[in-house]
Amino acid sequence: MLTIEGLRLTRTHDGIARDVLQEVSLSLQAGEICALMGVSGAGKSTVLRAAVALEPFQAGRIVIDGVALTPGPVPQESALRNFRRKVGMVFQQHALFTHLTVQQNVALAPRHALAQSPAQAAEVAMALLDSLGVVHRAQAYPSQISGGEAQRVAIARALALDPPVLLMDEPTAALDPARRGALADTLRALAAQGRSLLITTHDLAFARAVADTAAVLADGVVVERGAVTQVLDTPRHEETRKLMAVDAQ
């Protein structure tokens, strides 16, 4: 469902080019939840940003449901639009539009990408907000809702075009344990619908609770990949052991 092949992404800082991702390859089946792990700065968020076409890369390709994103000259706007419909992203800070209501935030993509009427898009938004338990906040503005509610709204917005792939950056960063459990239930329900979920996290307990598989990123490549229990119970790579040491502190 989601395939990342040989992704190389270089950033230039002060005139010096550095490969943030050297050659990242990673495949997710439909319905799979994968925890993407690695020490701070390993490039986890960068993988997500590339996979949602927010950051250009120099080599490799990303394929979702047969639609490929490749490097090279800036892709045509229509090709980019086609790809972006296939993938939703939930940012760590949620990135909701503050001047729009909750309902308008979720209705934006159906309005513009699918050219739905305001009434149709509002209906889609209300159904999604309802399924995520935040429909009662539909007319509020982002500044008026809690962090947990904002995350649910951000998930609803990411699902507005019904993408087969959902990406989430550090979803438990600001959640208390009860909300973490509720989030795990929500994510499992989304995967049960056949979506592939790629989630960056430092939270090993959450990874165990929600993910089927794990991938560990280090030095610009995936150094460990397998069932989440196998990766965390029998870490084979130094970087995985480092993550476990940090978690134990």
Ligand X SMILES: Nc1ncnc2c1ncn2[C@@H]1O[C@H](COP(=O)(O)OP(=O)(O)OP(=O)(O)O)[C@@H](O)[C@H]1O
Q: Which is nearer to ligand X, 38 or 110 (CB)?
A: 38
Cα distances (angstroms) measured from residue 109 to each of 152, 190, 209: 16, 19, 31
Q: Does 12 bind ligand X (CB under 6 A)?
A: no
Binding ligand X (rule: CB under 6 A), the pick from 45, 70, 82, 131 is 45
Q: Would you count residue 15 as binding ligand X (CB under 6 A)?
A: no
Give the integer Cα–Cα distance in Å for 35 and 27: 12
Q: Which residues pair with 166 in a beta bridge?
A: 88, 197
Residues near ligand X (CB under 6 A), total: 11
Residue 66 contacts ligand X per CB under 6 A: no
d(CA 41, CA 44): 8
Distance of alpha carbon 112 from alpha carbon 122, whole angstroms: 12
Q: Does 11 bind ligand X (CB under 6 A)?
A: yes
Interface region with ligand X, contact rule CB under 6 A, candidates 41-49, 61-69, 81-89, 151-159? 41-49
Under the binding rule (CB under 6 A), the answer on residue 9 touching ligand X is: no
Q: Does position 93 bind ligand X by CB under 6 A?
A: no
Nearest distance from C-beta of residue 83 to ligand X, angstroms: 20
Closest among 197, 237, 235 to 221, alpha carbons compared: 237
Contacts of 105 (CB under 8 A, 6+ apart): 96, 97, 142, 153, 157
Q: Which has the closest alpha carbon to 19: 200, 217, 201?
A: 217
| CB nearer ligand X, residue 20 or residue 125 | 20
Which of 43, 164 has the CB closer to ligand X? Answer: 43
Residue of 2, 26, 34, 43 that binds ligand X (CB under 6 A): 43
State the residues that interact with ligand X by CB under 6 A.
11, 13, 20, 38, 40-46
